[in-house]
Amino acid sequence: MKAIICSLCYVIFAPLIGGLLDGLDRKISARMQGRVGPPLLQPFYDLNKLHNKQLIAVSKSQTFLMISYLLMMILTGALFYAGYDILMCFFVMSTASTFLYFAAIVTGSPYSTIGASRELIQMMAYEPAVLLACVGFYLCMGTFDVAKIINSVVSPIVYLPGFFIAFVFILTIKLRKSPFDISTSHHAHQELIKGLTTEFGAKNLALFQLTEWYEVTFLCGVVGLFIINSNPISIIGAIAVVFVVWFLEILIDNCSARVKFDLMLKISWIVTLLSAGVNLLILMINR
């Protein structure tokens, strides 16, 4: 019963949390750039405006693929917050990203096709760190189940500092922020053509934005999973760490320029090997 309630809370409140974080992102970014910035609720106004526009899709299958992308991401977060297998959650998330890739490439547009291919490259960059994080949780906690990890006496980060560093690093790629926003950018001034979302109609773009909010809420939960334990006070610490990481991502996004895909791959894999890889070796030796 508890798992069902947690899943329903994610389905209902994740868009609200994701939208507020998006609005906070815009507000903080504006302040960093010496601007006032839009209202905190501006992302919700934008989403409503996109939703009310006429449905236009270059390909009839695009809308189906975008709905599938949304549903798979909802399933990812619902499984996670229900306390199920974290490895399964990330597999479902990867499946969702595949639907996004096909939604972009099915249009036949060269711009969206290039953006879609870059999205695949981004997946190659962050997937090793994601899978290693799952392995780390299993080695130190003896399980993939989120519910059992949460009920541990000691926070996982005590055993997994390297995995935490690697995961926070690849969040910049997963959130499509500079310097690793090669498939599409949240900032209009950074590109003339909008990457893989170039051929998305208004309603499909709204689905994309809504799915991103679900994804952000899920990823914030994973960051918190490194901190939380059986002590209820750890929840406050987990929330604090999530906000610190979120602010760090905004700071990096506003003070760095986009890099090429080959440099992104090299940097992400090097960081993953040096932090998560070394941490993994230590865990294996101590077992």
Quick check: bond before 15 cis, omega within 30?
Answer: no
Residue-wise pLDDT for 140-159, tens only, equals 888 999 999 999 999 999 99
Q: Is 58 exposed, middle or buried (0-12, 13-18, 19+ CB in 10 A)?
A: middle
| Segments of the chain scoring below 70 in pLDDT | 56-57, 186-193, 287
Q: Answer for the pair 134, 145: CB distance below 8 angstroms, yes or no.
A: no
What does the mean pLDDT of the chain come to? Answer: 89
Residue 273 is given by DSSP the state: I
In the chain, how many domains are there?
Answer: 1
pTM here is 0.93
pLDDT score for 285: 83
CA-nearest of 112, 106, 110, 156 to 135 is 156
Structure tokens given for 149: 């990890």
Domain extent for 24: 2-286
* Beta bridge mates, 261: none
pLDDT score for 164: 95
Residue 154 is given by DSSP the state: S
pLDDT score for 34: 85
